[in-house]
Each structure stands twice: as structure tokens, then as C-alpha cells.
Amino acid sequence: MGKPAPPSPFAPASLPDVPLVPGVRFATAEAGIRYQGRTDLLLGVFAPGTEVAGVLTRSKTRSAPVDWCAIGLRDGKARALVVNSGNANAFTGKKGMETVVITADAAAAAVGCPPGEVFIASTGVIGEPLDAGKFAHLLGKLAGEAKADAWHAAARAVMTTDTFPKLATRTAKIGGVEVVINGFCKGAGMIQPDMATMLCFVFTDAPIAAPALQTLVADSADRTFNCVTIDGDTSTSDTLLVFATGEAEKRDCPRIAEPTDPRIADFAAALHSLLRELAILVAKDGEGITKFVTIEVEGAEDDRAARRIGLAIGNSPLVKTAIAGGDANWGRVVMAVGKAGEAADRDKLSIRFGDILVAHEGERAPTYREEEVALYMQRPEIVLRVDLGIGDGRATVWTCDLTHGYIDINADYRS
């Protein structure tokens, strides 16, 4: 690996203190999988009866751990989570699944559950075999050491090129009973998830059946992580898992079996809010970032079209480098809208940088002043607003600028 990247200018001053989630414990270790002197192995242990839902990468070259999780999600039961950083265990042939099976067997023995209730995620370099012998023997010890308050350590253990851990918490009420939702994620490059993010794990004590939870997770992921892009590249390892221990049922919280149950509304809103916060943290840690960019699209043919247009803008190297240089080159936004492949009418298009109208109805806005927009472009957080003027579709996309720092990180990632 090259030298560590400097911290993102948007890194929080401190990690949030999060409450305990009954039925969830963590332990971490330095297994030396790729990194030296830092934790790179995480074990999560869950109470019996924990249910799980999730969404996985749509990549056609997805990793062995993703294939394993896809099988486990069919049953929706979980007792353990094993995550390693430094090696993605992707494009590793039959050896990749052999490593997953060895890991699942070791974790199952440590926790006392069937291997199918162990979920596994790996992140890091693609194409290098992952030796389970480096860490599988540690899982028994970790199971005994797992603690309910190890949230900060857990969030750090899954990092690769991230410059800060990403952790968030919410509370919600179901039937008048308060439940907790905590989550952490990792991701800084190879980000246009097309499902979730590189790795994201959420935990709650709410008693929600896996099928109902699956509906909530898929819907929220579509409107949060699926609206983040750093570089337009979808990882082989993208995994979002939500674990519900059901421990709040012991406090008379009603069990939710259907996603249409009105008692779940507050929980659904809190889950969406948490995933949105984590998604934005990913964008704020984009590799080489100097500016955080929000792209708001409205007036599109439908919401799907609006998101595709937003991603076309957010993925444009020309748009991103202009933002990095503080160049108010709104013509590049016009270009990106036009190439998105969605319905657009040149003569109805309006573009704003922040609240400043720069283009209107097919030409430069009559009130446009270069000096005013150039001053706005010096801000650390930029908002680009696009109105297609042809429909009701809208979407928000989060991204960052493209700097030489991104090249520095990725040019010698394996060196």
C-alpha cells in the first residue's frame, strides 16, 4: 500500500457515542491480512433469534462472501458476522468459497450456531487469495472477548482507504416502545454502489421479521446509498446487512411481520435517516476529496430518470475537476444532462449553483455574473441544482470533487 491519505476535510472531530443494542456484541483483532499495526478483523455476535435482511452488489463479478450472504439472506437468520479488511476475496476462484466456508465453520463453532447463520464480508484488494489460516483460528477467542460497547472499534476494523470511521445512531418507537438502531459503514473509493455501499452494517433490537425488514432495507438503500457516487465504479463486494435481534420484544415491543404494519412507520423513517447519514459520510470521505457536492435534480420524467441524470453529473470527470478547481463551468453540467440518456428539453432546462441561476431555458441566464458564481465555487460544500422542466421526477445525489489526491491513492493501491 502507498502512504495513508490525509484525513478528509469533512472528517468529524469525534465519533458519536452510541447506545448499546441489546443482543449485539463485537470483538476485533489485528490479523495482519494486509495491514500492519491496525485492526483488520471483526466478529459480531448476535442473540439467538436474530433476523437479517440486506441488499448486495449487482456486479457480475461479485465476491465469494457476497455469494455466501445471498444464500444466507434466503433464510433470514443470523448469529454472527465476520468482516475482514485488506483483501476482498473476490475473483479468487474456488479458493475464494473455500475460504468463506472455513471462516463460517470456525465462526459457527465459536458462537454455537449453524454455518448458514454466519454472514461474511471482505473488502480490499481484488484477485489475491485470502488465507483463512491467518484469522479463522482467532474467532473462538474473539467470541469470548466480544463486548456490547465496542462500536468504535468495530467501525475502525472495516476501514481500508477510509480516512475516518463512519458511525451513526437513531432511536424509534414501535407500539410505544423505544428501540435502538446503530450502524457503521466503510467506503471511500470504487463507489457507485448500485445497491448499497462497499460495506454497511446496521443493528437494532426491534422485533421485525426478515421479509418485512427486507422491504424497508431495499427501499431505503435505493434512496440513500444508491444515490452516492465517488468515481462511478461498482465494487465486487458491496454489502448492506441489517440485523434485528428482537430483544425489545422482552420490553413488550410488538413483533412486526408485515412491512405495511402502520406501527413500523417511525422505525422506517429512522432507518432511512440513518442510512442517509451514512451515505453522506461515504461521499464526504471520497478519495482525494476537497469539496463535498450535492446534486439536486427535479422536473425529470420520473424519479429513476432524475437519479440517472444526477449520477451522470456526479460521475463526470469534467464536472468534478471543474469543482476541484473552483471553476464555475456550468456548460459541463449541461453536457452531463445531455449524455445521461434520459428525456430532456434544452429549452426548458435551468441550472443553479447554490441559489444562483446560471442557465435558464436553453441559454445563459440574463442575471449571470461570473464573479458571483466564482466566489460561490470557493466554498467547501457545493450544491448543483438542475430543473428539467418536463415532469415530476426528482432525486438527490451526493458526490465529491476529483483531485490529484484520488490518483495518488489509486495509482499505487497494490504497491
Closest among 399, 410, 158 to 283, alpha carbons compared: 399
> Could you give the CA distance from residue 60 to residue 72 in angstroms, rounded to a whole number?
19
- 283 contacts 400 by C-beta, under 8 angstroms: yes
28 is catalytic: no
Neighbours of 178 (CB within 10 A): 15
> Phi/psi zone of residue 176: left (φ > 0), alpha (ψ -120 to 50 degrees), beta?
left
Query: Strands 350-353 and 80-87, how do they pair?
Result: unpaired
List of residues 6+ apart from 304 with CB closer than 8 A: 393
Which residue has cell 469533512? Answer: 10
> Could you give the CA distance from residue 118 to residue 45 in angstroms, rounded to a whole number?
9
The answer to the question of whether 415 is labelled as a binding residue is yes
Instruction: Tell me which of 92, 169, 197, 290 is the catalytic residue.
Output: 197
Neighbours of 404 (CB within 10 A): 11
Neighbours of 229 (CB within 10 A): 28
The answer to the question of whether 410 is labelled as a binding residue is yes
Question: Which stretches within 168-302 are classed as H helix?
Answer: 210-223, 265-283
The answer to the question of whether 215 is labelled as a binding residue is no
Please give the angle made by the CA atoms of 21, 14 and 381, to the nearest 5 degrees: 110
**Cα-flanking dihedrals φ and ψ of residue 299, to 5°?**
70, 15
- 278 contacts 183 by C-beta, under 8 angstroms: yes
The answer to the question of whether 186 is labelled as a binding residue is yes
**What letter represents residue 184's amino acid?**
F
Annotated binding site for substrate: 160, 186, 197, 287, 410, 415
Query: Catalytic residue positions?
Result: 197
Annotated binding site: 160, 186, 197, 287, 410, 415
